[in-house]
Amino acid sequence: MKQYESAKLSIDQVIFILEKVYIIWHRLLLPSAYKRSMSMVLEEVFSRIANDILLLDDIAAEETLQLQRLIHLLFENLSSFLDSVLAINQTGKLQESPAQTLDDLIPSLRKLRKLADLLDMPLKSITAAWETDELANHGFKQSEVEDFIRAIFADSPLRKECLRRIESRYYQAFSYS
């Protein structure tokens, strides 16, 4: 629980800093520069969070739910920033219906959203998502998926089989190239 509180505090600090950046940049920068700059900052934040979670090597069941809650908390608190980035078109004007999606502007957003889903997904479903390229399409590498499975699920014949299937999918992709 202490680690959860520490992680929550860190996310609260990131949100606080981003709020301050928003206040300054939104008024100071041209809309197109604001969009580009805020997209880059948010990309770095989401990428770092996803990578830090994927680097964890042993995650208990309760911790997976806590991590999922933290990711959802982050998205809830940053929704206004995400909306502000999306609302500006290429000419720097506010637009009614955005031509670009947030996933286009901030690629790691898609990965972090999927990671939140993976945190309570059954092992067979994660394996199937890899086999259908769903996870690769969300920016996951084979090694990340394998390490994530090792961190979340206890060693078992099913885990070994799923890891073997993920590895064989990787080699199949190379043999078709």
Q: How confident is the model at residue 94 (pLDDT cuts 50, 70, 90)?
A: low
- For residues 87 and 172, state if they share a domain: no
- For residues 138 and 112, state if they share a domain: no
Domain that holds residue 1: 1-120
Question: Collapsing DSSP states into helix, strand and coil, what is residue 88?
Answer: strand
The size of the chain, in residues, is 177
- For residues 85 and 156, state if they share a domain: no
pLDDT at 13: 95
- For residues 17 and 83, state if they share a domain: yes
- For residues 12 and 87, state if they share a domain: yes
Count of domains for the chain: 2
Q: Is the pLDDT of residue 90 over 70?
A: no
Round to whole Å and give the CA distance between 28 and 89: 18
pLDDT at 88: 80
Domain boundary among 78, 93, 120: 120
- For residues 52 and 102, state if they share a domain: yes
- For residues 35 and 111, state if they share a domain: yes
Mean pLDDT along residues 73-97: 76
Q: Is the pLDDT of residue 91 over 70?
A: no
Question: Collapsing DSSP states into helix, strand and coil, what is residue 58?
Answer: coil
Q: Is the pLDDT of residue 164 over 70?
A: yes
Residue in the structure block whose two tokens are 């100071």: 28
Q: Is the pLDDT of residue 57 over 80?
A: yes
C-alpha dihedral sign at 172, 51, 64, 78:
negative
- For residues 76 and 151, state if they share a domain: no
Domain boundary among 102, 120, 138: 120
- For residues 56 and 10, state if they share a domain: yes
- For residues 68 and 30, state if they share a domain: yes
Closest by alpha carbon to 42, among 94, 95, 113, 98? 113
C-alpha 142 chain-centroid distance:
16
- For residues 9 and 93, state if they share a domain: yes
